[in-house]
C-alpha cells in the first residue's frame, strides 16, 4: 500500500481526466467548484503566507 492509499486518496489517472473537448465545455463550472472547495483547505500563516491542503479534486484542477 502506498501513502495515498493509506490516507484514502485515490490516484489521479489519465482515465479520470476530462478530454479536451469535454473540459472546454465544463471549464468555468469546474473552476468555480474547485475555487469554492479550496477555501476550506486554506490555512493562513501570518499576513503574507498560506498553506493549501491538496486532495484529488485540487490536483485534478492543476493537471487539467
CA-to-CA separations, 26 to 1, 32, 35, 36, 62, in angstroms, rounded: 34, 10, 14, 16, 15
Whole-prediction pTM:
0.72
Tell me: the pLDDT tens digits for 12-54?
899 999 999 999 999 999 999 999 999 999 999 999 999 999 9
What's the CA gap between 46 and 4, in Å, rounded?
29
Output the pLDDT for position 7: 62
What's the CA gap between 55 and 12, in Å, rounded?
10
Number of H helices, E strands in the chain: 3, 2
Q: Is pLDDT at 9 greater than 60 in this prediction? A: yes
Q: Is pLDDT at 4 greater than 60 in this prediction? A: no
Output the pLDDT for position 2: 55
Please give the average per-residue pLDDT across 52-61, as a whole number.
92
What's the CA gap between 54 and 56, in Å, rounded?
7
Amino acid at each position: 500500500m502506498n501513502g495515498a492509499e493509506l490516507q484514502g486518496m485515490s490516484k489521479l489517472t489519465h482515465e479520470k481526466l476530462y478530454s479536451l473537448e469535454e473540459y472546454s465545455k465544463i471549464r468555468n463550472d469546474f473552476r468555480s467548484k474547485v475555487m469554492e472547495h479550496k477555501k476550506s483547505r486554506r490555512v493562513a500563516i501570518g499576513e503574507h503566507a498560506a498553506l493549501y491542503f491538496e486532495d484529488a479534486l485540487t490536483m485534478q484542477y492543476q493537471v487539467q
